Amino acid sequence: MALKQHLIQKLEQKLSPQQIQLMKLLQVPTIELDQRIKQELEQNPALEEGEEREEEEDEYDAEENDDEFDEDEEEFDLSDYLDDDSADYKTQANNQSKDEEERVIPLSGEQSFREKLMEQIQLLPLIDNQYLIADTIIGNLDESGYLNREVDALVDDLAFSVGISVSEAEIEETLVLIHELDPAGVGARDLQECLVLQMKRKQDGKQHRSHALVILQKFFEEFTKKHYDKISKKLDLTDEELKKAIDEILKLNPKPGGSTRDAAQNFQQIIPDFLLFESDGKLDLTLNSRNAPDLKVSREYANMLRTYAEGAKTSKSDKEALSFVKQKLDSAKWFIDAIKQRQTTLLITMTAIMEYQRNFFLTGDETNLRPMILKDIADVVLMDISTVSRVANSKYVQTNFGIYSLKYFFSESLSTDSGEEVSTREVKKILSNAIEAEDKKRPLPDEKLMELLKDKGYNIARRTVAKYREQLNIPVARLRKEL
């Protein structure tokens, strides 16, 4: 097959760098916008914080109309224009004598989970290689306090990393000693062993705790599947005795290692992008002030542009410097315009959502949410669906009834028997209320929930009920059963 060359003319739509910058800024939440602005301030010296005055804008616009210069010149090294002949020793300071003692105030830190265990190991009657074995076992515990590594693998670890030869029986013997450490249940190989270790420590002769230990040791599978009838029949327990035993098991900690990390746990901070409050039947929407920072173009760089423009016709260095300064000024102006356009787009989109879901924002009742998809808002604000999606992504609004994610207000529609379009969120709320009000001794299966919704006019299939229940993180009826 012969190769051929031919010309093709075609139209393509491409995003400009400014449009790409705006799209990226739109999907950035408020908590990350500060970091993005600080990053731009560090990279672009022509951008400053503060409110821009009109005369500064006029000066920069006038400079844009100055004589054209060749933008195809090669990039220059900024160090060529910086005249700094200062010696290094002139920029260094040493205000301390050699004899002066440096005093550092130590900062107290919380002991880690491993450090607490190693501290307790010192108090155990360990012999020969048991200390090295215990150190290896503790080093292999996961964040929940479980030992997920096999005993034969620990034998290999000790042989290769520490250089000692031990048997599996020696490791098992040391592991029994670790099971005596606090918190109770640490070093367990699975959930059953973890709960059994904790329950053994609680044995005080009381009958319900003895029953709880037997249930964990011999009927753990029936317990996890909530087959309480089988347990009570095999152990010959009354409902009251079984309930006391189950309540005792539910007080145990399935993650003993995690209990020591509560103080150091990281929590995600949510800063609302919008403030929406209702007063006397009127809705007031404002943009978070952190979404509207005051930025301006540096006046010094604008004056520098004028200076280099005057000498650019005769000096090559001035011409290159002029290119650099103008590039930074243009970049600063584009960034400021992008921030302003971001504010406008956020407000327009959120205003459309507010009007669409007005009944919800006035009452806070979840059943008042209308079915709404991205296209509904895109048609109102005359923007692309992708733009609305970027606005809704990772954004939050503070209302009289709490802080909500913008994605919370988007849901599909469902037709009732009367032909009315309702939000699936409304159906989920009714489903959640029905499960919350059910008799926990006889929880409602999906078929009964389907019939309950049909009685209310929502004609949906059983598999749809199961799907909504799973989306609400609600288990099946058997696992919701209580004594």
Work out the mean pLDDT of the chain and round it to a whole number.
78
Give tens-digit pLDDT for 239-256.
888 888 888 888 888 888
Give tens-digit pLDDT for 358-380.
988 998 888 788 888 888 899 99
pLDDT of residue 355: 92
**49, 41 contact by CB (below 8 A):** yes
Least confident of 123-137, 277-291, 318-332, 345-359: 318-332
Domain with 211, as residue range(s), is: 191-255
Q: Looking at per-residue confidence, does 94 or 226 come out higher?
A: 226
| Together in a domain, 132 and 165 | yes
| Together in a domain, 173 and 204 | no
Max intra-chain CA distance, the chain: 104
| Together in a domain, 165 and 207 | no
Q: Which of 90-94, 288-292, 296-300, 336-340 has the highest mean pLDDT?
A: 336-340
pLDDT of residue 58: 55
Of 255, 271, 295, which residue sits at a domain end? 255
Mean pLDDT of the 387-391 span: 87
DSSP string, 74-106: PP--GGGG------GGGG------TTSPP--PP
Q: How many domains does the chain have?
A: 3
| CA 304 – CA 297 distance, rounded (Å) | 12
Asked whether residue 231 is domain-assigned, the answer is yes
Provide the pLDDT confidence category of residue 262 given band limits of 50, 70 and 90: very low
Asked whether residue 439 is domain-assigned, the answer is yes
- Tell me which residue of 292, 388, 396 sits closest to 345, measured CA to CA: 388
Asked whether residue 203 is domain-assigned, the answer is yes
CB atoms under 10 Å from CB of 346, counted, come to: 22
- pLDDT of 479 > 90? The answer is no
| Together in a domain, 162 and 203 | no
CA dihedral over 169, 171, 172, 177, signed as positive or negative? positive
Mean pLDDT of the 82-90 span: 45
Mean pLDDT of the 387-406 span: 88
Q: Which of 61-70, 245-254, 434-443 has the highest mean pLDDT?
A: 245-254
Asked whether residue 142 is domain-assigned, the answer is yes
Asked whether residue 261 is domain-assigned, the answer is no
| Together in a domain, 163 and 138 | yes
Mean pLDDT of the 446-459 span: 82
pLDDT of residue 77: 46
| Together in a domain, 425 and 470 | yes
**101, 248 contact by CB (below 8 A):** no
- pLDDT of 227 > 90? The answer is no
| Together in a domain, 437 and 472 | yes
Provide the pLDDT confidence category of residue 352 given band limits of 50, 70 and 90: very high
- pLDDT of 81 > 60? The answer is no
| CA 106 – CA 347 distance, rounded (Å) | 49
- pLDDT of 194 > 50? The answer is yes
Of 226, 255, 284, which residue sits at a domain end? 255
What single-letter DSSP state applies at residue 162? I
Of 255, 272, 304, which residue sits at a domain end? 255
Mean pLDDT of the 445-461 span: 82
Per DSSP, the chain holds a count of helices (H) and strands (E) of 20, 8
| Together in a domain, 195 and 231 | yes
Q: Looking at per-residue confidence, does 345 or 44 come out higher?
A: 345
pLDDT of residue 180: 87
Q: Is 353 helix (H, G, I), strand (E, B) or coil?
A: helix
Which residue carries 């604008």 as its tokens? 302
| CA 256 – CA 107 distance, rounded (Å) | 27
**37, 293 contact by CB (below 8 A):** yes
- pLDDT of 226 > 80? The answer is yes
| Together in a domain, 196 and 239 | yes
State what percent of residues in the chain have pLDDT above 90.
4
Asked whether residue 251 is domain-assigned, the answer is yes
Q: Looking at per-residue confidence, does 93 or 473 come out higher?
A: 473
Query: Can you give the CATH number for the domain in which 461 is found?
Result: 1.10.10.60
pLDDT of residue 315: 66
| CA 470 – CA 412 distance, rounded (Å) | 17
> Within 13 Å, how many C-alpha atoms sit on residue 225's CB side?
8
CA 451 to each of CA 75, 366, 447: distance values in angstroms, whole numbers, following the listed order: 73, 22, 6
* Token digits of residue 254: 């399935």
| Together in a domain, 233 and 202 | yes
Provide the pLDDT confidence category of residue 88 given band limits of 50, 70 and 90: very low
| Together in a domain, 207 and 237 | yes
pLDDT of residue 448: 84
| Together in a domain, 172 and 195 | no
pTM over 0.75: no
| CA 166 – CA 39 distance, rounded (Å) | 55
